[in-house]
Chain A
């Protein structure tokens, strides 16, 4: 199993860097990971809003929400989503939020 070292801590991840031990997630993890997903500097309030939204949905339903639902519930469009997470919602945002990689025909 590959490992990644962020802010002095080691985490088990899959081949594409998605966290495997979901309970190990913390805010330092998300911040330290941000630059690998092309996010410059400190995560903003807007980033956190999305990260927390994803984590809440995931805790409730065990999957990441639909992109359309994210946009609707947070009142943002796709363009904004990609501005916040340049590598995309499924890759960048889910990765920082510590969610598993989406599976199946999605």
Chain B
């Protein structure tokens, strides 16, 4: 049994609060019940000296302890100043209302804990309860912001000792929640404990300049500077597109020119740039389908206009606004009628939903998901499809931001029901889906031992769901496909499948939705899905 951890333990100097115990992790079906290696790499002694890992031995941020008491004091004051800002309209124009609601109304009934894949898969680690972070925040507010008198605090049990260690652990803990918001969905009182994780990240980033490198420095900062968080410049983009056009011709015999910066096009399609570099077959499939259906579309080669990601939605309102405005300006300059977002979940949330808070006047261009358009194309009969070409077991992963948050549930299903004869659902699915385990930036957080954690813990529930969906065809000799219409989820599946040896053991490939559509196109001779690129 995992030991009880109390909030006062967070303030304990030194030592590690808890450890991921392989024996406690949620069991996986065979052959995954026996892992050959330790689930999570230990940090080196040198890393332990430089980076704080006192929460659970895992590092997403890796803060360095302060050298002097003065430094520690300044650190705490800065945090408190940032925390105070969260409660003013001017400084929290995004999420003030749900933040206050959640802090005021949660009764800690723990329904959300049962819904949280990280808490469940970890073997019920106390620290991962969705109620843990909000409660720490509530106590800091009671003791240090509202400065409630000690008798009242004792009565409310809201005391907390605030030191550097408390905050270092809280900062890391904010990066143990994938922001999948399954907790918010089941809450009877409408509290959104995942939002609290995001708001804690916001204090650390906006007020203190603390965020995982992959998300900030190499992420949103790089995107605004060179054009994409992948480091892909406009020149590199053109090189990639040339390559994609060559590949399309080789695979399909079709000569397709991918439209770039076409003024006045009906639709600006923005892909997650990960598609360009890691999964070019996705952008190629899009080009083939849109060309065949006669859609008037373009992509942009302007900085930030060809990468739909907006990592700010995970941790920082300023970075969020900068990217959202830039993307909309690109669309405005091209005089397109609408922006359409490709297969990327968080870009849907950022660009379609949250961007409404910053895009005013003529910058508020219509923005939509590409999925309904794909459904129209497939169901209208505009392109001829032969489902027997997809006659292998297929299951569907629901990206949290598209499905739970936005309710885009049916279009992708109606497509798969039409073109995949062996399509089967996971349990649960749709708005009740489980996160891939890579949400909120986890899939791109690649350093130290964090990737191990997201494969072993936060992605564990999803892996179990996938294996269960294919339990009638478990062997590697039968090739199977997890359709994941989201770059971030695909990145998580790639890493997690490699971590567990899923291709070798079970023959499961992951990929997008459009690849399956093109694979079923009657007038394309060769299969489009290439299983050897697992």
A residues with a Cβ closer than 8 A to B are: 2, 14-16, 61-64, 66-69, 72, 77-78, 100-106
Q: Would you call B65 an interface residue if the criterion is a C-beta within 8 Å of the partner chain's C-beta atoms?
A: no
- Rounded to whole angstroms, the CA-CA distance of A90 and B443 in the bound complex is 15
Known A63-B236, A66-B278: A105·B243 in contact at CB below 8 Å = no
- Rounded to whole angstroms, the CA-CA distance of A101 and B222 in the bound complex is 14
Contact of A106 among B50, B278, B533 (CB under 8 A): B278
Q: Is the CB of B491 within 8 A of A105?
A: yes
Q: Is the CB of B226 within 8 A of A106?
A: no
Q: Is the CB of B444 within 8 A of A104?
A: yes
Q: Would you call B211 an interface residue if the criterion is a C-beta within 8 Å of the partner chain's C-beta atoms?
A: no
Q: B450 — nearest CB in chain A belongs to which residue?
A: A15
Q: Is the CB of B532 within 8 A of A66?
A: no
Q: Is the CB of B274 within 8 A of A105?
A: yes
B residues with a Cβ closer than 8 A to A are: 46-47, 50, 62, 214, 218-219, 222-223, 226, 228-233, 235-236, 239-240, 243, 247, 272-274, 276-278, 280, 307, 309, 344, 443-444, 446-448, 487-488, 491, 532-533
Known A104-B218, A105-B491: A62·B233 in contact at CB below 8 Å = yes
Known A61-B235, A69-B243: A103·B229 in contact at CB below 8 Å = yes
- Rounded to whole angstroms, the CA-CA distance of A35 and B488 in the bound complex is 32
Instruction: Sort A-B residue pairs by CB-CB distance and give the 10 closest, nearest first.
Output: A105-B274, A104-B229, A104-B230, A61-B236, A103-B218, A106-B278, A15-B447, A105-B487, A63-B231, A106-B277
Q: Is the CB of B230 within 8 A of A103?
A: yes
Q: Is the CB of A66 within 8 A of B447?
A: no
Known A2-B46, A66-B280: A105·B230 in contact at CB below 8 Å = yes
Q: Is the CB of A105 within 8 A of B309?
A: yes
The minimal Cβ–Cβ distance linking B420 to chain A, given in whole angstroms, is: 25
The minimal Cβ–Cβ distance linking A5 to chain B, given in whole angstroms, is: 13
Q: Is the CB of B532 within 8 A of A62?
A: no
Q: Is the CB of B532 within 8 A of A77?
A: yes
- Rounded to whole angstroms, the CA-CA distance of A69 and B280 in the bound complex is 10
Name the prevailing secondary structure of the B interface residues. Answer: helix
A-B contact pairs, 9 of them (CB 8 A): A62-B236, A63-B230, A63-B236, A68-B247, A78-B532, A104-B219, A104-B229, A105-B229, A105-B491
List the B side residues contacting A68 at CB < 8 Å. Answer: 243, 247, 280, 533
Known A66-B243, A66-B280, A68-B280: A106·B274 in contact at CB below 8 Å = yes
List the B side residues contacting A72 at CB < 8 Å. Answer: 243
List the A side residues contacting B214 at CB < 8 Å. Answer: 103
Q: B281 — nearest CB in chain A belongs to which residue?
A: A68
Q: Is the CB of A62 within 8 A of B226?
A: yes
Contact of A104 among B47, B231, B240, B447 (CB under 8 A): B231
The minimal Cβ–Cβ distance linking B321 to chain A, given in whole angstroms, is: 20
List the A side residues contacting B447 at CB < 8 Å. Answer: 14-16, 101
- Rounded to whole angstroms, the CA-CA distance of A44 and B274 in the bound complex is 31
Q: Is the CB of A104 within 8 A of B532?
A: no
B233, B273, B277, B444 — most chain A CB neighbours (10 Å): B277
Q: A64 — nearest CB in chain B belongs to which residue?
A: B277
The minimal Cβ–Cβ distance linking A6 to chain B, given in whole angstroms, is: 16
List the A side residues contacting B532 at CB < 8 Å. Answer: 77-78
The minimal Cβ–Cβ distance linking A97 to chain B, given in whole angstroms, is: 15
- Rounded to whole angstroms, the CA-CA distance of A61 and B491 in the bound complex is 23
Q: Is the CB of B448 within 8 A of A16?
A: yes
Contact of B273 among A14, A67, A104 (CB under 8 A): A104
- Rounded to whole angstroms, the CA-CA distance of A62 and B277 in the bound complex is 13
Q: B275 — nearest CB in chain A belongs to which residue?
A: A105
- Rounded to whole angstroms, the CA-CA distance of A15 and B50 in the bound complex is 11
- Rounded to whole angstroms, the CA-CA distance of A26 and B139 in the bound complex is 54
List the B side residues contacting A62 at CB < 8 Å. Answer: 226, 231-233, 236
Q: Is the CB of A105 within 8 A of B272?
A: yes
The minimal Cβ–Cβ distance linking A14 to chain B, given in whole angstroms, is: 7
List the A side residues contacting B443 at CB < 8 Å. Answer: 105
Given pairs A68-B280, A104-B228, A106-B278, 16 additional interface contacts (CB within 8 A): A2-B46, A15-B447, A16-B448, A61-B233, A62-B231, A63-B231, A63-B236, A66-B277, A78-B533, A101-B446, A103-B230, A104-B223, A104-B232, A104-B307, A105-B272, A106-B273
List the B side residues contacting A63 at CB < 8 Å. Answer: 230-233, 236, 277
List the B side residues contacting A103 at CB < 8 Å. Answer: 214, 218-219, 222, 229-231, 444
- Rounded to whole angstroms, the CA-CA distance of A14 and B439 in the bound complex is 24
List the B side residues contacting A66 at CB < 8 Å. Answer: 240, 243, 276-278, 280
Q: B308 — nearest CB in chain A belongs to which residue?
A: A105
The minimal Cβ–Cβ distance linking A100 to chain B, given in whole angstroms, is: 8
List the A side residues contacting B239 at CB < 8 Å. Answer: 61
Q: A71 — nearest CB in chain B belongs to which residue?
A: B533
The minimal Cβ–Cβ distance linking B156 to chain A, given in whole angstroms, is: 41
The minimal Cβ–Cβ distance linking B107 to chain A, given in whole angstroms, is: 38
List the B side residues contacting A101 at CB < 8 Å. Answer: 446-447
- Rounded to whole angstroms, the CA-CA distance of A103 and B235 in the bound complex is 18
The minimal Cβ–Cβ distance linking A106 to chain B, given in whole angstroms, is: 4
B228, B230, B280 — most chain A CB neighbours (10 Å): B230
Q: B229 — nearest CB in chain A belongs to which residue?
A: A104
- Rounded to whole angstroms, the CA-CA distance of A100 and B444 in the bound complex is 15
- Rounded to whole angstroms, the CA-CA distance of A102 and B491 in the bound complex is 13
List the B side residues contacting A67 at CB < 8 Å. Answer: 278
